[in-house]
């Protein structure tokens, strides 16, 4: 039973996650095989204040970019 974990920022519409789950499942089955019923997708959504890249919070980077 494969589990595919997706870490992403919160706020995306449910339809986007639904479409992503469908496409990830289809791709897994195309590449590895097996039944779609065995594929589990876990979405881990987090706020930009809880994510940092290169030592800088993504929320700070977004705020700085908005000021440009």
pLDDT tens per residue, range 4-38: 999 999 999 999 999 999 999 999 999 999 999 99
Look up the CATH number of the domain holding residue 13. 3.30.429.10
pTM for the model: 0.83
pLDDT digits (tens, 9 = 90+) for 39-59: 999 999 999 999 999 999 999
Domain count, the chain: 1
| Interval 1-6 mean pLDDT | 96
Token pair 């590895």: residue: 32
Residue 31 domain boundaries: 3-67
Residues 40/4, Cβ–Cβ less than 8 Å: yes
Question: If you write DSSP's letter for every residue of 3-67 in order, what string do you get?
Answer: EEEEEEES---HHHHHHHHHHHHHHHHHHH-S-GGG-EEEEEEE-GGG-EETTEEHHHHHHHHHH
Identify the pLDDT of residue 64: 85
């Amino acid at each position: 039973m494969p589990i595919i974990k997706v870490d992403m920022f919160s706020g995306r519409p449910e339809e986007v996650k639904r479409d992503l789950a469908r496409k990830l499942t289809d791709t897994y089955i195309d590449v590895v095989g097996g039944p779609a019923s065995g594929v589990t997708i876990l979405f881990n959504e987090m706020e930009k204040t809880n994510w940092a890249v290169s030592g800088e919070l993504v929320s700070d980077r977004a705020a700085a970019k908005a000021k440009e």
